[in-house]
Amino acid sequence: MQLGELALNVRSKNAGPYWVTIDVFCGSESVYTHLQKLLSLDYVASIYQQPEDKIKRFELPDLHVLKFSFPRTIVQGSRFDRDMHGAQYSVLLSELEISPP
Amino acid sequence: MSTRVLVPSGVLGLGFDRDALARGVTLKPDIICIDGGSTDSGPYSLGTGTSKYSRAGCKAEWRELMKAREALQVPLVISSCGTCGSDGMVDWMFDITQELAIELNQSIKVALLYSEQSPDSIVERIQSSACHALEPAFSLNESLVKECTHIVALAGAEHMAHALQSGADIILTGRATDTAAICALPIMRGEHVGAAWHGAKIAECGALCSTNPTSGVIMLEVDEHGFSVQPMATDARCTPHSVSAHMLYENSDPFLLHEPGGTLDVTQAHYEQSDERTVRVMGSQWHKATKYTVKLEAARRTGYQCTIMAVIRDAHYVANAQAWINRLSEFLDKEISTSMSLDRTDYSLEFRLIGIDSVLGVLENKSGNPTEVGVLGIITASSESLTEEIAKLINPFLLHYPLTDNESLPTFAFPYSPAHSHRGALYEFCMNHTIELENPMDAFQLEIRQAGINATG
């Protein structure tokens, strides 16, 4: 199954012109525990082709949320930017093929 | 004691539920605050010093808020006027306010807070080591600073307090942090500082922190211990989840938010449903910084752009779109070099294959079987005429170039005539820095004007 089918919501957005941030709303304790193991920092860094020391990973157990932030490789709105709001980056996580918990 | 802040929506121009606003008015807020700014849509607004939203739309909504203010006799604040918060956009908002004051038969005192910075002043601050890079860090030099068309500093609660102390009915501000206007009055009245900043962050996008984001209007109530937030639309609710989730929104760090003069820390914050539609939050902390800094935003022009588009429906070409565009690009670079004597550094020509990977580019990991592919050619160069020359030169090849030498010439679909479209100047954000200020007002100016009937100008 795809991660997006299991999680409540996966979204991404710019955090200012120089950062993009991705929120994975797991929706339950069991999904959170499952995805917490799966979405390691190095795995997510590889999906977004980021050096591991550039990506920040946050765990919010109360909210059942995992959050990832990294500097935009291409600054928002500059010549080669393809996604002004950074809102489509999230599909790379929501479309991940994963095993059910 | 508590302080109530009515926030009609996340931004002026986005619309709000008029009934919800009326309901908010009946709850007697102490201030009405709305934001007018954003970097969401990219550098164009700041680069040109113009509003993203229409004047007519902003005026229609501002009319409702000016009527609400007149009824309540409390301050009305709009921060980051005209999307970018340039000085010109503060004046633009004053013109709208002046027109409405006459139409509504109001006589009002208006405070205008300007936050635009001259390139020279920034160069001086760089030289005196009072300008610091934020992550991801890059350095500034004099020539880059002087290329900026607009540089703005983001005002904080201190600047808003200064404007409020003038006793103005309406406050129009240049660029400010999203939270500054909302937290200023609660802080001035001695409410909990951490709660004021945290509540402001939750309220800054209006009803986005509720179950019905499009209803717009919310009420924030800050007291000495914490804050409560409640949507004004009767069909909306705030829940601990909807409220706490908003702290993640557009923030690279979900626990810390850096603001002028300090940092909001919500690590210990606790969210609780206090009635069916209201959430109560306690435990937010404010860590005052040792030095007072404000963040800068700046944009500069980096060239001009022209686009050209072709659409491929021929299955053979659709299946080989990437190979075709690679071959075409190589050919066109030679053509441009030969015919126009241009070096690769004088221009850029990029093709994005819509239907293949135009959004994610090198990150795309899926391949499908599209029916058609849009080929968006983006030409960037130092002048508009140069981009047009390149567009005209590549036009016949984008229309007819074959995949291999041994096949008949294809003809793709151009959706319009001419096939190219000018995009005008291209801007880019070029500062991610803060400046240190001895006194918060050092880089800002406050002006008081009278508007409406009996205004002397």
What are the sequence ranges of the domains in chain A?
3-93
CA–CA dist B136, A66 (Å, integer):
22
Residue numbers in chain B where pLDDT is lower than 70: 456-457
DSSP B37-81: E-STT-THHHHHT--SS-HHHHHHHHHHHHHHHHHHT--EEEEEE
Measured between CA atoms, how close is A95 to chain B, in angstroms? Answer: 10
Contact B327/B335 with Cβ under 8 angstroms? no
Q: Is A14 on the interface with B (CB under 8 A)?
A: yes
B393-421 exposure pattern, b = at least 16 Cβ within 10 A, e = fewer? bbbeebbebebeeeeeeeebebeeeebbe
Q: Do A56 and B361 touch (CB under 8 A)?
A: no
B353 strand-pairing partners: B375
Nearest to B314 by CA among B403, B416, B419, B415: B403
The count of CB pairs under 8 A between chains A and B is 103
* pLDDT of B456: 59
Token pair 């038969």 is found at B105
Q: Do B359 and A82 touch (CB under 8 A)?
A: yes
SS3 call for B156:
coil
CA quadruple B197, B185, B240, A16: dihedral, nearest 10 = -40
**Residue B246, amino acid:** H
DSSP B297-318: EEEEEEEEEEEEEEEE--HHHH
Cα-only R_g, chain A: 13
Q: In Å, what is the CA distance from A1 to each residue of B106, B281, B306, B442?
A: 61, 37, 42, 57
Q: Do A91 and B360 touch (CB under 8 A)?
A: yes
B158: CB partners within 8 A, 6+ apart: B260, B261, B292, B440, B441
Q: Do A60 and B429 touch (CB under 8 A)?
A: no
Confidence of residue A12 (pLDDT cuts 50, 70, 90): very high
- Residue B264 φ then ψ, to 5°: -85, 130
Q: Do B135 and A71 touch (CB under 8 A)?
A: yes
CA B146 from chain center: how many Å? 23
CA–CA dist B17, A70 (Å, integer):
36
CA–CA dist B214, B236 (Å, integer):
10
Taking 3-state DSSP, the helix, strand and coil percentages for chain B, each rounded to the nearest 5, stand at: 35, 30, 35
* pLDDT of B76: 98
* pLDDT of B164: 98
- Closest residue in A to B380 (Cα) is A79
SS3 call for B344:
helix
Q: Which chain A positions have a beta carbon within 8 Å of B362's beta carbon?
A: 49
Q: Do A21 and B40 touch (CB under 8 A)?
A: no
Q: Which chain A positions have a beta carbon within 8 Å of B41's beta carbon?
A: 77, 84
* pLDDT of B454: 74
Question: HSE on the CB side for A81, CA within 13 Å?
Answer: 25
Q: What is the pTM of this model?
A: 0.96
Fold of B301-429: Alpha-Beta Plaits (3.30.70)
B221 strand-pairing partners: B4, B228
Q: Do A79 and B255 touch (CB under 8 A)?
A: no
Average pLDDT over residues A17-42: 97
Give me the residue from A17, A18, A49 closest to B362, CB to CB.
A49
Q: Is A1 on the interface with B (CB under 8 A)?
A: no
Contact B273/B279 with Cβ under 8 angstroms? yes
Nearest to B310 by CA among B375, B386, B383, B242: B375
Q: Which chain A positions have a beta carbon within 8 Å of B40's beta carbon?
A: 14, 84-85
| Kind and range of the H or E run holding B21 | helix B18-26
Please state, rounded to an integer, the average pLDDT across all residues of chain A. Answer: 97
- Check the CA dihedral B408-B412-B416-B418 and report its sign: negative
* pLDDT of B98: 98
Q: In chain A, what is the straight-line distance between the N-terminal and C-terminal CA atoms, in Å?
A: 10
Q: Do B429 and A17 touch (CB under 8 A)?
A: yes
CA–CA dist B147, B343 (Å, integer):
23
Question: HSE on the CB side for B389, CA within 13 Å?
Answer: 15
| Residue of B149, B252, B359 to mutate, testing the A interface (most A Cβ within 10 Å of its Cβ) | B252
Q: Domain locations in chain B?
A: 2-115+154-292+437-452, 301-429
* pLDDT of B214: 87
| Residue of A11, A47, A55, A80 to mutate, testing the B interface (most B Cβ within 10 Å of its Cβ) | A80
SS3 call for A57:
strand
ipTM rounded to 2 decimals:
0.96
Which residues of chain B are at the A interface, by a Cβ-Cβ cutoff of 8 Å? Answer: 39-44, 134-136, 241, 244-245, 248-255, 297, 302-303, 348, 350, 352, 358-363, 365-366, 380, 426-429, 432
| Kind and range of the H or E run holding A13 | strand A9-14
SS3 call for B229:
strand
| Residue of A18, A60, A81, A90 to mutate, testing the B interface (most B Cβ within 10 Å of its Cβ) | A18
CA–CA dist B394, B71 (Å, integer):
61
Percentage of chain B beyond pLDDT 90 is 95
A1: CB partners within 8 A, 6+ apart: A97, A98, A99, A100
Structure tokens at A58: 């946050």
